[in-house]
Amino acid sequence: MKFISRYILPSLLSLLVLNACKKDLGDYDYTKVGMPVIDTAGIGNPYYIERYASLQIDPSIRYDGGNTKALRYQWLLYPNITNSTSGTAVVKTISTEKTLNVPIVEKVGEYRVELIATDTTNQLKVNMIFTVVVSVGIEYGIMVLHSQQDSSDVDFITTANAVPVAGITPKHLRGIFSASTGSKIAGAPRFIAQERRSQTMQNWITIGSAGHIARMSGSDFSLMREDKALFRRSDAVINPQAFMLLGNGYSALINDGRLHMYTTVYETDALFSASVPGDYELAPYLAMGSYYSVVAGVYDQKHGKFIHPASLVGSMIDFVAAPDTVHPPFDLRNIGKDMLYMDRGFSNYTHAFFKDKTGNGYWLYIINFNTSDNGNLAISANDMSMLPEISTAKFFQASEQGYVDLYATDRKIYAYNYQGTNTATLAFDGFPAGETITCMKIYKPNPNYNLSTVTGWILYVGTWDGQKGKVYELQLNALSGQINATPLNVFEGFGKVADISSKARGSGTY
């Protein structure tokens, strides 16, 4: 017994301990596993892309010892955070295709796009990171508000004709509102307008539809505020009809027939106060050339007369009566017609197009709102009743360069010489069969810094064939109103075009 306890048990214990030191050689078969390789030859440099433009990367994948068909792809996008206190980066999956081809809607900045290729048979992963710099791409061009069914979106177009600025390349960015906000604009579209004051931070875009209004950044088209956030009063009715940054620096909105205004270059203060007090119901048009003391020349459709606010915080008042010694061509205080359109024309005068309430009379009233009210603002009353197809005219525009205005029926555009012969000539009749005009705008960028040579010399026309919309870029003679028969450009892929607005950068930083 003594022998067992002294020799046998310690020996067995030692064997047990030593067994742990035995090397496990195993009995395995080893197979070499291939590794996919993302070849960045020719595609590895940083990508400088304009916001809303498509980022395209087509990597070459080699997979020696493996099957490329078994690979699953994932493209991630996240901001490049250089400051460790900036917070957590939000990572978005932007594609699961091998070839990346997606619009980049991120705000201006530097980002990383990462491709991860995963072998679905063994979950082996490889990745490659690309640098992407998103820049502003909407400084110059036109914005097209167009709709399909009950919602609308915005396309941005830049052409060499409209933007003869070095370094600005032609482009057509589609659906930038939905790309920015994640959804289209609800309600029937009404207007899109730029609000830009050079040398300030005021660079905003206002979009109005039935029941909605939105302000977008003019630098990157991000949503700044919408609907009631644009009004000081919580009980504001949202029914925007027209918006304009007037020549006097006041921003004016016609909303539900009422005039709302502000003047500021600070976005947080750019809110619409309660409507200008008074008994009126406005036609949805604004006079760009309004003098400081006029505030805003508008037309009261309810009482058939022009009116204006007494001040930015005052009530709506009539224009003063003409002096006895003056016999104006018409009385701003007693028009009595239905307004069809209002636009800024030659000499910064306001051109107001009217139809008689009864009968077939059509009129162009020219007013100089760009001076203090002395009772002598009416310039001329031009009888348009005898012009060809005037009774079917639906769209009107005034040239700022010469004594000519345009009007358009469903398919034809006429140039109206109101100063001389008081006649109109057919200026364009070249739209393909089946297309009808839905919008017509002379290119009038405001401010027109860098663009003065082309201001007024291009006409944009939106058409609709029942299925899809087009935008025609036409060469306009701003002095005669004649239009080249061959379009400069034709853009397709729209819904029904509701409005077209120029977009100008102005001068100074923002």
Partner 1 sequence: MKTVNNITGLLALLLFFLTACEKDISSYNNDPRVYFFERNTDLTQSRVTFKSFSFLKLPTAVTKDTFLIRVKIMGDAAPYDRIVRGQAIPDSTTAQAGKHYDFIDGVIPADSITGYLPVVLYRTADITDSSVTLNLAIAPTKDFKPGVTEDDVFTLSWSDNVVKPANWDGFISLSAYFGTYSTVKYRFIIATTGIEQFPLQQSGRVPPKDGEYTAAAMSDIKAMLKDALKAYNDSHDPDLTDEFGQLVTFP
Query: How many Cα atoms within 13 Å fall on the side-chain side of residue 378?
Result: 23
Q: x/- contact string, 407-446, with partner 1 (CB under 8 A)?
A: ----------------------------------------
Residues in region 283-312 near partner 1 by CB under 8 A: 312
**Binding residue for partner 1 (CB under 8 A) from 83, 149, 268, 358?**
268
SS3 label, residue 348: helix
Least separation in angstroms between CB 269 and partner 1: 5
313 binds partner 1 (CB under 8 A): yes
| CA angle in degrees (0–180, nearest 5) for 410-414-415 | 155
Can you spell out the DSSP letters for 223-281?
A: EEEEGGGGBSSTT----EEEEEE-TTS-EEEEETTEEEEE--S-GGG--B-SPPPSS--
Q: Which residues contact 451 (CB under 8 A, 6 or more apart)?
A: 140, 162, 163, 164, 165, 445, 504
Query: How many Cα atoms within 13 Å fall on the side-chain side of residue 344?
Result: 23
Residue among 409, 464, 467 nearest 438 (CA): 464
**Binding residue for partner 1 (CB under 8 A) from 103, 247, 277, 361?**
277
- Nearer Cβ to partner 1, position 144 or 270? 270
What element of type H or E holds 396? strand 395-398
6 binds partner 1 (CB under 8 A): no
Q: Are 150 and 168 in contact (CB under 8 A)?
A: no
263 binds partner 1 (CB under 8 A): yes
Beta-strand pair 405-408/395-398: antiparallel
- Nearer Cβ to partner 1, position 56 or 315? 315
Tokens 């036109």 -> residue = 142
Residue among 195, 236, 235 nearest 215 (CA): 195
**Neighbouring-strand partners of residue 226:** 214
264 binds partner 1 (CB under 8 A): yes
- Nearer Cβ to partner 1, position 6 or 302? 6
Least separation in angstroms between CB 313 and partner 1: 5
Number of residues interacting with partner 1: please give it, by CB under 8 A. Answer: 16
Q: What radius of gyration do the chain's Cα atoms show?
A: 33
Q: Are 95 and 102 in contact (CB under 8 A)?
A: yes
Structure tokens at 51: 């916001």
125 binds partner 1 (CB under 8 A): no
**Neighbouring-strand partners of residue 439:** 462
Least separation in angstroms between CB 218 and partner 1: 18
- Nearer Cβ to partner 1, position 428 or 510? 510
Q: Judged by CB under 8 A, which stretch of 54-62, 262-270, 278-286, 477-485 contacts partner 1?
A: 262-270
Least separation in angstroms between CB 187 and partner 1: 26
Residue among 491, 465, 448, 459 nearest 157 (CA): 491
266 binds partner 1 (CB under 8 A): yes
269 binds partner 1 (CB under 8 A): yes
- Nearer Cβ to partner 1, position 62 or 233? 233
Least separation in angstroms between CB 246 and partner 1: 16
Least separation in angstroms between CB 274 and partner 1: 6
Phi/psi of residue 183, nearest 5 degrees: -150, 160
Residue among 92, 112, 101 nearest 44 (CA): 112
480 binds partner 1 (CB under 8 A): no
Least separation in angstroms between CB 82 and partner 1: 25
Tallying the residues shown for the chain, one arrives at: 510
**Binding residue for partner 1 (CB under 8 A) from 62, 125, 233, 302?**
233
281 binds partner 1 (CB under 8 A): no
Q: Are 221 and 176 in contact (CB under 8 A)?
A: yes
- Nearer Cβ to partner 1, position 5 or 123? 5
- Nearer Cβ to partner 1, position 262 or 403? 262
Q: Judged by CB under 8 A, which stretch of 94-102, 191-199, 270-278, 433-441 contacts partner 1?
A: 270-278
262 binds partner 1 (CB under 8 A): yes
489 binds partner 1 (CB under 8 A): no
| CA angle in degrees (0–180, nearest 5) for 303-290-271 | 85
3 binds partner 1 (CB under 8 A): no
Least separation in angstroms between CB 105 and partner 1: 28
232 binds partner 1 (CB under 8 A): yes
**Binding residue for partner 1 (CB under 8 A) from 3, 5, 20, 492?**
5
The residues that touch partner 1, with contacts defined as CB under 8 A, are: 1, 5, 232-233, 262-264, 266, 268-269, 271, 273-274, 277, 312-313
